[in-house]
Chain A
Amino acid sequence: MVKTMTQLMTEDGIRCDGRRLDELRNISIKVGVLKNADGSAYIEFGKNKILAGVFGPRDVHPKHMANPDSGILRCRYHMSPFSVTERKNPAPSRREIEISKVIKEALQPAVILKDYPRTVIDVFIEVLQADGGSRCAALDAAAVALADAGIPMRDLVSACAAGKVADRIVLDVNNEEDQEGQADMPVALMPNMGKITLLQLDGMLKPEEFKTCMQTALVGCKRVYEVQRKALMEKYFQNGEQ
């Protein structure tokens, strides 16, 4: 099979989409984009276009899932059939089920569920167009949507990936780099508490690269946090109110 290897990086460290090693793709977040949801957000992260809607706290169905000591958090990450090059079967894949689980576990430490026993907070994420790093972008939107729903939170959750491409550690891996690069490490951080709530890796990293890769991703998370904060401020503190 003849495979045309796209060149992932030039000698002086410029990546295939023109970014430097430590540069994020463009991110924009809009808060409160859905009428029916209690909280919502829309994110564009590179070519990712993702909607997140939050419902609740509300009654749990099925009832046996209810926890008398605490609320529960449910999360569904779903990709639209038209979100990728080849049409995706709309039924949830194993990958989507796993991502739903890790996103839920990444958000859970930030949400104060104790205050809402016997209820559920549902987070629905729809990936309308997918690019590399869709789970991080989805998490960023979901955290903002939770805040928009007025749910008490200890902190926001900001996510960003780092990886290894052409033997160098890079921030915010795009689709091509994810496919043909050497490692991809999505990380989520509660920025004010310094707590890492999501960490995955596939690829091959030496122990010292593992450390730099994680630190690189954390720098990215903090930059994403600023964008999230700004988006929330824009909705809630218009006209310079504080």
Chain B
Amino acid sequence: MNSLILDQLKRDKILDLLKTGKRIDGRSLDEQRPLIIETGVIPKANGSARVKLGDTEIITGVKIQPDKPFPDLGDKGILICTAEILPLADPNAEPGPPNEEVIELARVVDRGIRETEMIDLHQLVLIEDKSVIGMFIDSSVIDSGGNLFDACSYASVAGILSCTVPKYEIKDEAPVLVEGVTSKPPIKTLPVSVTMARIGDHIVVDPTKDEESCMDARITITTNSDGNICAVQKGGSDGFTAEQLLECSEMALAVGRKIRKQFEKLM
């Protein structure tokens, strides 16, 4: 609550600057902060990535292990993305069960990767209806500087791209690990999540923590390599006009193309 006055002052400053087409950190409205991706940072995981998006920093680990398929999805492997904000990442974060913001974060990251069909889950089946390979992609926010949605999504994608899938053979109907044999994950497309904030009448890409604290509304749009829009989530306590949303969808495609080039280098 002590930040109320500060937020108001920051908001005035941020709005004043936006009127002249500038942002508080000197970026243009449709410019993302520098994205730094490092992979293979956790050798005990099957895949991992450390991603910095401006001041936001994420570590993602991918664990791959045999599992039982979901009862109604016996012809598909399992893919689960989670995200959490570690208590060391933010003065306002608390240990304990996730609050609604964290649950939304995890679900939006998961939806982006699931709905773009980044991984061909049919290729992760060992015995139909009985045994499949499960991929668990867990992201931890270790430093929170705004736009956790995109940062977690990029770290998850980079983690998946960096992973090696161990080989399992079926012996007596049970999966057994084959030592020393691995393969690349079956990648179909590269999802890119782009989050935009509306502050007053302005739409800014990749909001910082300060911009988020005074934004009116937020939208996260995930696109795939073919230029399709696959997942959308609006957030924040106000709305958008239809025109603003169409502008956002175009922006998401344009910014997405740039980020996707960075992912392609990891393949």
The interface of chain A, by Cβ under 8 A from chain B, is 1, 67-69, 94-95, 97-98, 100-102, 105-106, 108-109, 185, 190, 194-207, 210-211, 214-215, 218
Contacts and interface: CB of A to CB of B under 8 A. Distances in A.
Interface of B: 1, 4, 74-75, 100-101, 103-104, 106-107, 111, 114-117, 128-129, 219, 224, 227-242, 245-246, 249-250, 253
Contacts of B114: 202
A195 B229 contact: no
B255 to A, nearest CB: 14
Given A98-B103, A199-B233, A204-B224, 10 more contacts: A98-B100, A105-B234, A105-B236, A199-B219, A201-B231, A202-B111, A202-B114, A203-B115, A207-B253, A210-B249
Contacts of A106: 239
A214 B248 CA distance: 13
Given A207-B250, A210-B229, A198 B234 contact: yes
Contacts of A68: 1
B228 A218 contact: no
Contact of B232 (A1, A97, A108, A185): A185
Given A101-B104, A196-B239, A218-B242, A207 B227 contact: yes
B72 to A, nearest CB: 9
Given A108-B237, A195-B240, A206 B219 contact: no
Q: Which of B103, B111, B117, B235 has the most CB of A within 10 A?
A: B103
A205 B228 contact: yes
Contact of B240 (A69, A199, A203): A199
- Specify the main secondary structure of chain B where it touches its partner: mixed
Contact of A196 (B103, B227, B242): B242
B242 A194 contact: yes
A205 B229 contact: yes
A106 B234 CA distance: 9
B245 A196 contact: yes
A75 to B, nearest CB: 10
Contacts of B116: 204
Contacts of A218: 242
Most chain A Cβ neighbours within 10 Å, of B117, B232, B238, B249: B232
B115 A197 contact: no
Given A98-B103, A102-B235, A204-B224, A196 B241 contact: yes
Given A105-B236, A205-B229, A207-B253, A98 B246 contact: no
A90 to B, nearest CB: 17
A187 to B, nearest CB: 9
26 contacts: A1-B75, A1-B129, A95-B107, A97-B100, A98-B104, A101-B101, A101-B104, A102-B104, A105-B237, A185-B232, A195-B241, A196-B240, A197-B234, A198-B234, A199-B219, A199-B240, A199-B245, A201-B231, A201-B232, A202-B231, A203-B115, A203-B230, A204-B228, A204-B230, A206-B227, A214-B242
A77 to B, nearest CB: 11
Nearest to A66: B1
Nearest to B108: A98
Contacts of B1: 67-68
A18 to B, nearest CB: 26
